Amino acid sequence: MISPMEKLRKTEVYKSIFRHKYEDTPRNRALQIVDNVFLHLHPVRVPRHATNIGYTWGMGGITFLLFLVLTLTGVILMFYYRPTAQYAYEDMKYLMHDVPFGPLIRNMHRWGAHAMVITVMLHMFRVFLTGSYKPPRQFNWVVGVVLLLLTFLLSFSGYLLPWDQLSIWAVTVGTNMARATPLLGHEGPFGPQLGMRPDADVRFVLLGGTQVGPPTLLRFYVGHCIFLPLIATIFMVVHFWRIRKDGGISGPDTGKKNF
Amino acid sequence: MNHLLELVTKPDNIPIVGLLLLVIFYSWLAWTKARKNDSQQLPDEARLDDKVQVWPYLVRVEFLAMLVVLLILVVWSVFINAPLEEPANPALTPNPSKAPWYFLGLQELLVYFDPWIAGVVLPSIIIVGLMIIPYVDINEKGNGYYTFKERKFSILTFCFGFLILWVSLIVLGTFMRGPGWNFFLPWQDWDTHKVVVLNNVDLSEYFGMPSHFPDNSLNIAASAFGFLVIAAFYLSLGGWHYMKYKNSDVVKKLGLGRYALVLGLFLTMMFVVLKILLRLAPPIFGGYPVKYIWVTPWFNV
Amino acid sequence: MADDITSSSQTVPPQRPQALSQESQISATPIPKKPKQDRAPENDPGIWRMGRKSFLSFAGWLSFLGFIGISTVGALRFMFPRVLFEPPSKFKAGLPGDYVIGEVNEKYTEEQRIWIVREREGFYALIAICTHLGCTPRWLTAENKFKCPCHGSGYYKDGVNFEGPTPRPLERAQITVNDDGEIVIDKSIKFRYELGEWGKAGSFLKYVG
Ligand code: HEM
Ligand code: FES
């Protein structure tokens, strides 16, 4: 008597999806990783200390998880949000009061963003403390710094979107600093001498106007939803690729090869 | 006290409380591990270098971590609503008005430096400074395990920058900056009408040279004096260090260029601290806070 | 090794090695062996075939880089539209007689971000934008000063800064009277103290009444 499960496993459809058996053998454990498009981000084997959460604190992975959560909740929010000064705030209210699960999605997006900034900072802290930026991982640290910056920019550009008092003043102060950029801002050292004007300097590129207004909202929206996530994704791809190419997770040099 | 409770439980402040606790916890964790490793022949990580299979040993940890993080996030989001304040109004600035919390360290620096320094130059230096760390830290030890003994200078410098200048300034900006950007202790109520005299003077005025004449034209002597003070700061400390250590192995291996870069960045970090002290310390001794060290027609430092 | 590589760049068919020539006895037309391809032949510029010296290659690269450069400039220019839809900078502010001497009038602060100050000799219009980082300061009558909530900059009633981080005084806007005797304020024309502009015509409206 063969069980229905056995029968199912013998069908062509099943075999076309699952490529190997699942008895717990070392070979199948390896196949789990290499045969899976997502898991094969990982090597098949790692040094034992890498599975110890006390070593990596898991912060890089958690940052990535939060990025995925933010992408998902962000896309859902886009179903209701219109990036114009007339509607943005109203849409926020609408989401918070009249859309089922609207508050949950918005809250997850907001708190997830805060959490991601925290975890990315802690990740950097850990990488520093274990000296993991030392050869051969120098360049991946540089990629990491870019990711840190992108995380800040993503969070900052999202801050404007609710179009409430908190948003516009935080962004007013933030972008007014650009006004004072040396050479490129109309109030920065040597800016005016180089012909910078309120309507022609770096700050204008950010704001799309001479003050925080409707064009700013649109620019920040496009940056927040398309441009910055795209760039961040590209850098993350490089970051993960480099982890593998630099010999997997760092560890003390014990003479053994890590890969 | 109620005020403190209110501050700590304000939805937008919860992440900062979390950050503070996490930073304290992880600093402690890293410190314990470093001490342990420093006291033994081989670091713990080197003892655990046999291979294990990623499936299941790593994947299951990751899966658990994912569940925990998602659980925290969902519970947090179910119980605490993200704030939505009054609609945007360009004519009415809330008091106090703050940047997003992760920029509060920079906003605090805005009190002591002109926007072009605090908002543009210093952040750029931080980013570039972080990026070059792997290329100027030529100490081969301490790669891939926790240690303190083997890399004291780099760890102390980084922790000073991260824990003191970044994290504590964020905490200070969140909990101790109230209306009018005045300083309040965390348990003091925020009094909108608190009057603090902030009459600042330029450093040269301490030496009898106002930066501007009564007709508002620049005092060249005062400007030159300011330049000299800054030049003296960098040259004397830098020169002293160079004289003392020029024959050390580290300086030789770094080479003059990289050595000067590290020294310059380090001194700049110290300069930031110095400027903050020049603003905060004098009132304690009954003097005027210092506004600028160096005044020029184009920019002030 | 090196020999059969060099041969490839020549037009003469390469010499066949021993093993092949035996085989070739079977087939009617011998198949010339392909040259080895793991290395560029000597004297062959390889990927630099369109070498630096070749004018066409140079021109090609130049136009490619030129295209990238111009596209970048174009993209940048794209961010600066020719027309801006911002609120008009000019507005009327009633009759001079409506103002009280010594008062900082906040009637237009909400809408226009302007304070109109009436002194004994006349009027000036202060722009309610902190010169530090652009917050809107508040006028504190009791303390007789403007105070910015963002980082604590303070200004005297005439707009000159005296405390906090701001690097310079508030800006004044042009203030004039029109033919109907009404005050007209133009925010696009600004007067800055530190540039010595507060003495200029338009920065102060003489009025004794
Ligand atoms: C969006 C932001 C980031 C993501 C998603 C991310 C993700 C990761 C992940 C998953 C790892 C594997 C080990 C671990 O979890 O600790 C890792 C390692 C690493 N990260 Fe990041 N990271 C980010 C930002 C950064 C930053 C800001 C830095 C440093 C400035 C950095 C530098 C490194 C380095 C050098 C490694 C190799 C560490 C080792 O082998 O021990 N990353 N990153
Ligand atoms: S914006 Fe007014 S003090 Fe900073």
**CB A176 to CB C133 under 8 A?**
yes
- At C4, is the pLDDT very low, low, confident or very high (cuts 50, 70, 90)? very low
Instruction: Indicate if the pLDDT at residue C33 is higher than 80.
Output: no
Do the strands C183-191 and C172-177 form a parallel or antiparallel pair, or are they unpaired?
A: antiparallel
Using an 8 Å Cβ cutoff, are B127 and A153 in contact? Answer: no
The whole-number pLDDT of residue B208 equals 81
Q: Which atom of ligand 2 is nearest to the CA of B181?
A: 3
The whole-number pLDDT of residue A259 equals 40
Do the strands C183-191 and C114-118 form a parallel or antiparallel pair, or are they unpaired?
A: unpaired
Using an 8 Å Cβ cutoff, are A202 and A190 in contact? Answer: no
Residue ID of nearest Cα to ligand 1 atom 12: A60
A148 to chain B, any CB pair closer than 8 A? The answer is yes
What sign does the CA torsion over C161, C166, C168, C170 have? Answer: negative
Residue ID of nearest Cα to ligand 2 atom 1: C133
C120 φψ region: left (φ > 0), alpha (ψ -120 to 50), beta (else): alpha
Report percent pLDDT > 70 for chain C. Answer: 74
CA distance C187 to chain B (A): 15
Instruction: Indicate if the pLDDT at residue B289 is higher than 80.
Output: yes
Which residue of A62, A68, A132, A165 to mutate against B (max B Cβ within 10 Å)?
A: A165
Residue ID of nearest Cα to ligand 2 atom 3: C151
Class (C level, CATH) for C90-206: mainly beta
Instruction: Indicate if the pLDDT at residue C21 is higher than 70.
Output: no
Q: Which of B28-37, B104-113, C53-62 has the highest mean pLDDT?
A: B28-37
Q: Strand runs (DSSP E) across C52-137, as ranges?
A: 90-92, 104-105, 114-118, 122-127
**CB C152 to CB B196 under 8 A?**
yes
C111 to chain B, any CB pair closer than 8 A? The answer is yes
What sign does the CA torsion over B83, B87, B90, B96 have? Answer: negative
- Residue B175's H or E segment, with its range, is helix B169-175
Residues of chain A with pLDDT under 50: 258-259
**CB C81 to CB A169 under 8 A?**
no
The whole-number pLDDT of residue C2 equals 40
Alpha carbons C120 and C139: distance in angstroms, whole number: 19
Topology (CATH level 3) of domain A55-245: Cytochrome Bc1 Complex; Chain C (1.20.810)
Instruction: Indicate if the pLDDT at residue C100 is higher than 50.
Output: yes
Instruction: Indicate if the pLDDT at residue B215 is higher than 80.
Output: no
The whole-number pLDDT of residue B267 equals 96
Do the strands A45-47 and C154-155 form a parallel or antiparallel pair, or are they unpaired?
A: unpaired
Better-scored residue on pLDDT, A21 or B175: B175
Map out the domains of chain A as residue ranges. 55-245
Tens-place pLDDT, residues C108-148: 888 888 999 998 888 999 999 998 888 888 898 888 899 88
The whole-number pLDDT of residue C196 equals 81
Tens-place pLDDT, residues B216-273: 778 888 899 999 999 999 999 999 999 999 888 889 999 999 999 999 999 999 999 9
Q: Which of B99-108, C33-42, C65-74 has the highest mean pLDDT?
A: C65-74
Report percent pLDDT > 70 for chain B. Answer: 97
**CB B181 to CB C147 under 8 A?**
no
Q: Is A160 in the pocket of ligand 1 (CB under 6 A)?
A: no
Better-scored residue on pLDDT, C152 or C175: C175
The whole-number pLDDT of residue C115 equals 93
- At C15, is the pLDDT very low, low, confident or very high (cuts 50, 70, 90)? low
Chain A residues with CB under 8 Å of C150 CB are 169, 173
**CB B180 to CB C148 under 8 A?**
yes
Report percent pLDDT > 90 for chain C. Answer: 23
Q: Is A132 in the pocket of ligand 1 (CB under 6 A)?
A: yes
Chain A residues with CB under 8 Å of B110 CB are 177
Q: Which ligand is nearest to the CA of A56?
A: 1
Q: Which atom of ligand 2 is nearest to the CA of C164?
A: 3
Map out the domains of chain C as residue ranges. 90-206
Q: How far is the CA of C170 from the centre of ligand 2 (A)?
A: 11
| Residue at token pair 């015509």 | C201
ipTM value for the complex? 0.93
Chain A residues with CB under 8 Å of C76 CB are 205
Q: Which CB contacts under 8 angstroms, 24+ apart, belong to C155-158?
A: C157/C104, C157/C117, C158/C117, C158/C124
Instruction: Indicate if the pLDDT at residue B59 is higher than 90.
Output: yes
SS3 of residue C191 by DSSP: strand
The whole-number pLDDT of residue B99 equals 82
CA distances from C111 to B205, C88, C114 (A): 41, 12, 8
Instruction: Indicate if the pLDDT at residue B89 is higher than 80.
Output: yes
Chain C residues with CB under 8 Å of A176 CB are 133-134
Report percent pLDDT > 90 for chain B. Answer: 52
DSSP tag of A209? S
SS3 of residue C172 by DSSP: strand
Q: Which atom of ligand 1 is nearest to the CA of A243?
A: 37
Map out the domains of chain B as residue ranges. 2-285
Tens-place pLDDT, residues A99-152: 999 999 999 999 999 999 999 999 999 999 999 999 999 999 999 999 999 999
Letter for the amino acid at A42?
Answer: H
The whole-number pLDDT of residue C49 equals 57
Vertex B4: Cα angle to B2 and B6 (nearest 5) = 70
Alpha carbons B200 and B113: distance in angstroms, whole number: 13
Q: State the number of CA atoms in the 13 A half-sphere of B156 facing the CB.
A: 6
Using an 8 Å Cβ cutoff, are C146 and C138 in contact? Answer: yes
The whole-number pLDDT of residue A20 equals 81
Average pLDDT over residues C62-88: 91
| Residue at token pair 């940052």 | A63
The whole-number pLDDT of residue B69 equals 97
Helices (H), ranges, chain A? 4-10, 12-17, 26-34, 53-56, 59-77, 88-97, 102-129, 138-160, 165-179, 202-207, 214-222, 228-245
The whole-number pLDDT of residue A258 equals 45
**Residue A59: CB partners within 8 Å, gap ≥ 6?**
A119, A120, A122, A123, A126
**CB B181 to CB C149 under 8 A?**
yes
CB-count exposure of residue C91 (10 Å: 0-12, 13-18, 19+) = middle
Q: Give chain C's mean pLDDT.
A: 80
Instruction: Indicate if the pLDDT at residue C8 is higher than 80.
Output: no
Average pLDDT over residues C156-171: 88
**CB A141 to CB B155 under 8 A?**
no
How many other C-beta atoms lie within 10 A of the C-beta of residue B139? 15
The whole-number pLDDT of residue C64 equals 95
